[in-house]
Chain A
Amino acid sequence: MRLVILEDYDQASEWAAKYICNRIIQFKPSQGRYFTLGLPTGSTPLGCYKKLIEYHKNGDLSFKYVKTFNMDEYVGLPRNHPESYHSYMWNNFFKHIDIDPNNAHILDGNAPDLQAECDAFEKKIEEAGGIDLFVGGIGPDGHIAFNEPGSSLSSRTRLKTLAMDTILANAKYFDGDLSKVPTMALTVGVGTVMDAREVRTHLVLVACVFSRLVGIDTGIESKETFVLQVMILITGAHKAFALYKAIEEGVNHMWTVSAFQQHPRTIFVCDEDATLELRVKTVKYFKGLMHVHNKLVDPLYSMKEN
Chain B
Amino acid sequence: MWGAVGRQAGEVGRSILTSVQRRSNDNAAAMAWAASKRLMSTGSEITVRDALNSAIEEEMSADSKVFVTGEEVGEYQGAYKVTKGLLQKFGPDRVLDTPITEAGFTGLGVGAAFMGLKPIVEFMTFNFAMQAIDHIINSAAKTNYMSGGKISVPIVFRGPNGAAAGVAAQHSQCFAAWYGQCPGLKVLVPYSSEDARGLLKAAIRDPDPVVFLENELLYGETFPVSPQVLDPSFTLPIGKAKIEREGKDITIATFSKMVGYALKAADELAKEGISVEVVNLRSIRPLDRATINASVRKTSRLLTLEEGWPQHGVGAEICASVVEESFYYLDAPVERICGADVPMPYAANLERLAVPQIEDVVRAVRRACHRTSVEDRREAA
Are A and B a genuine interacting pair, yes or no? no
List A residues at the B interface (Cβ < 8 Å).
Answer: none
